[in-house]
Amino acid sequence: MDVGICKRCGEFEGRCECGKGRILLNSEKRRKVSKFLSGILRHFGEEFGIEVDEEGWARVEDVLRVLKERYGIGRKHLELIVKFDKKERFEIRNGKIRAKYGHSIAVNTAWSEGGDIPAKLYHATSPENFV
């Protein structure tokens, strides 16, 4: 589904109630960007100059730089992707962003909230799956 923002209805997914909201990401682009975001936070951030710490956090600014270069999108787009993600895969806190689960790099999300995800969700993958 598309995501966007409306002066009257606020941030929305699909269509806003008044129908006048502006779409910021159509469903196709949203899907691509989410997939890429998962990739850089879970697997291959390094290839794009993004440092992911041992708890899985990366600086939002770093991620935005890459998203801007690659997809021409900004902070609001990223926030909408995180907010409306069906599986709640991402979280943003204190200027940092991380994937909550599914890493192939060594991180320990159990040190803070969101770490109670069963180990069976962890799997390895390669950058080719995310292009």
Minimum Å gap between C-beta 18 and Zn ion is 3
Minimum Å gap between C-beta 103 and Zn ion is 37
**17 vs 53 by CB, closer to Zn ion:** 17
**14 vs 74 by CB, closer to Zn ion:** 14
What are the angstrom distances between the C-alpha of 76 and each of 17, 60, 67, 81, 89? 20, 12, 12, 9, 17
**20 vs 70 by CB, closer to Zn ion:** 20
CA–CA distance, 79 with 52 (Å, rounded to integer): 19
The binding site for Zn ion (CB under 5 A) comprises 6, 8-9, 16, 18, 21
